[in-house]
């Protein structure tokens, strides 16, 4: 397993946000983590990426215990994340946003940059090439010179994914990548996620939009901080407890 989450728990005083949550992700999978609003999905992501420290439990990535490590350490190990609310550089172009994200993992020293050494120039050329490859992968190369603040909502969400890919992750966590999108933007984004997966990135998606299940080979469902179901998309759609979590009663099916 590339990622193993064991008995992960987060309490805020008497409030239980996540309770004894278990989940595993194999290399090369696309796994959906779904559930109603407020179910604890994003809290799980915050615990995995070091934004929050767990009350108890473990997070193992590539056989290393990363529980409670700082976010930049976890990112350097190979876990990237795109947030529900994108922290973009609004006044930068699309290309500049991705280019700048590569400098979170610099390969040149400050002295190289100051003296504009050959090493620095080679590194900048490499980053420029890699930035364009990411934009082409996600279908953003046609808007590379647009300011981030001028992009439509769907393209801004994709730019957040592009920035996450700049850290060269083995595992990419996408937090509600379809939130607020219209049907056309959803189709475009889902195809971009498929291309990212085909490029060799393992993906975990947090969503409450059930359309995301069309991307996933396996789905984990959480409600009130606890896992209530796991299986293939078809198994989860027919699970009565999942239907109750979404609709508060039986008699419906998830589509």
Contact 146, 96 (CB under 8 A): no
Residues 98-130: pLDDT tens digits? Answer: 999 886 555 545 555 554 667 667 878 889 999
HSE-up (13 A, CA, CB side) for residue 139: 16
DSSP helix/strand/coil, 247 = helix
pLDDT confidence tier of residue 208, bands split at 50, 70 and 90: confident
% of the chain surpassing 70 pLDDT: 89
**Are residues 54 and 8 in contact, defined by beta-carbon separation less than 8 angstroms?**
yes
Residue 161 CA to its chain's centroid (Å): 7
Which range among 7-16, 105-114, 120-129, 188-197 shows the weakest confidence by mean pLDDT? 105-114
CA distance 197 to 203: 7
Q: What are phi and psi of 120, to 5 degrees?
A: -65, -45
Q: CATH for 3-247, among 3.30.750.200, 3.40.50.1220, 3.40.50.300, 3.40.980.10?
A: 3.40.50.300
The angle subtended at Cα 172 by Cα 76 and Cα 92, nearest 5°, is 80
Domain boundaries, the chain: 3-247
Residue 245 has pLDDT above 90, yes or no: no
For residue 250, what pLDDT is reported? 46
CB 69 within 8 A of CB 50: yes
Band (36; pLDDT cuts 50, 70, 90): confident
Query: What does the alpha-carbon distance between residue 99 and residue 116 come to, in Å, rounded to a whole number?
Result: 17
Query: What 8-state DSSP symbol labels residue 27?
Result: T
What residues contact 139, with CB distance under 8 A and at least 6 apart? 158, 188, 191, 192
What average pLDDT is seen over the chain?
A: 89
Residue 71 clears pLDDT 50, i.e. is over it:
yes
Residue 134: CB partners within 8 Å, gap ≥ 6?
98, 162, 165, 166
User: Which residue carries 């172009």 as its tokens?
Assistant: 93
240-248 CB contacts, 8 Å cutoff, 24+ apart: 245/35, 245/36, 245/39, 245/221, 246/36, 246/210
Per-residue pLDDT band at 253 (split at 50, 70, 90): very low
11 pLDDT more than 80? yes
**63-85 residues labelled b (16+ CB within 10 A) or e (exposed):** eeebbebeeeebbeebbbbbbbe
């Amino acid at each position: 397993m590339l990622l193993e989450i064991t008995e992960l728990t987060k309490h805020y005083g008497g409030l239980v946000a996540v309770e004894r949550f278990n989940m595993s992700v194999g290399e090369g999978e696309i796994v959906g983590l779904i559930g109603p609003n407020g179910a604890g999905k994003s809290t799980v992501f915050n615990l995995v990426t070091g934004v929050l420290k767990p009350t108890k439990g473990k997070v193992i990535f590539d056989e290393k215990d990363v529980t409670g490590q700082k976010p930049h350490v976890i990112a350097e190990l190979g876990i990237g994340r795109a947030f529900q609310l994108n922290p973009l550089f609004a006044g930068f172009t699309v290309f500049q946003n991705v280019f700048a994200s590569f400098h979170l993992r610099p390969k040149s020293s400050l002295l190289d940059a100051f003296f504009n050494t050959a090493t620095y120039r080679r590194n900048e050329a490499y980053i420029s090439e890699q930035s364009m490859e990411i934009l082409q992968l996600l279908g953003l190369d046609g808007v590379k010179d647009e300011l981030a603040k001028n992009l439509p909502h769907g393209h801004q969400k994709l730019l957040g994914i592009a920035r996450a890919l700049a850290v060269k992750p083995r595992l990419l966590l996408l937090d509600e990548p379809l939130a607020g999108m219209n049907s056309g933007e959803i189709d475009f984004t889902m195809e971009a996620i498929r291309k990212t997966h085909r490029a060799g990135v393992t993906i975990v998606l947090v969503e409450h939009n059930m359309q995301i299940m069309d991307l996933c080979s396996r789905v984990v469902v959480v409600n009130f901080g606890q896992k209530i179901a796991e299986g293939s998309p078809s198994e989860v759609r027919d699970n009565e407890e999942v239907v109750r979590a979404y609709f508060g009663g039986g008699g419906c099916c998830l589509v």
